């Protein structure tokens, strides 16, 4: 189990690093919005892996709130940039 957790942690860290690069150099606002949404998804997955590894459910409400925030923020950004194109 430890090898799986370490491997998933490394893969999530690489994915987060690549997403942060895209967030910083994204040419448009929509690219940055998608990168932000992907980064929140990576954080949710990392918290889920941590909850499974430590066998506790105390972080599940945080996962739910982060998922809702990611969804709502992406929809809000798309709504604001919809009329500008």
Contact 45, 12 (CB under 8 A): yes
CA distances to 20, 57, 78 from 15, in Å: 9, 25, 23
Contact 36, 23 (CB under 8 A): yes
| pLDDT, mean of residues 57-81 | 89
Summarised one tens digit per residue, pLDDT across range 1-46 is 789 999 999 999 999 999 999 999 989 888 998 999 999 999 999 9
The number of distinct structural domains making up the chain is 1
Query: What is the model's pTM?
Result: 0.86
Cα(45)–Cα(36) distance, integer angstroms: 14
Q: Is the pLDDT of residue 53 over 80?
A: yes
pLDDT for 84: 63
Q: Is the pLDDT of residue 85 over 60?
A: no
Confidence band of 78 (pLDDT split at 50, 70, 90) = confident
Contact 31, 22 (CB under 8 A): yes
Domain that holds residue 14: 2-82
Q: Nearest 5 degrees, angle CA 53-CA 19-CA 76? A: 100
């Amino acid at each position: 189990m430890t090898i799986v957790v370490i491997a998933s942690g490394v893969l999530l860290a690489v994915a987060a690093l690549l997403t942060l690069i895209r967030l910083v150099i994204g040419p448009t606002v929509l690219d940055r919005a998608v990168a932000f949404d992907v980064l929140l998804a990576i954080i949710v997955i990392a918290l889920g892996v941590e909850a499974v590894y430590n066998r506790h459910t105390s972080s599940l409400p945080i996962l739910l709130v982060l998922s809702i925030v990611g969804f709502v923020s992406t929809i809000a950004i798309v709504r604001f940039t919809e009329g500008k194109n």
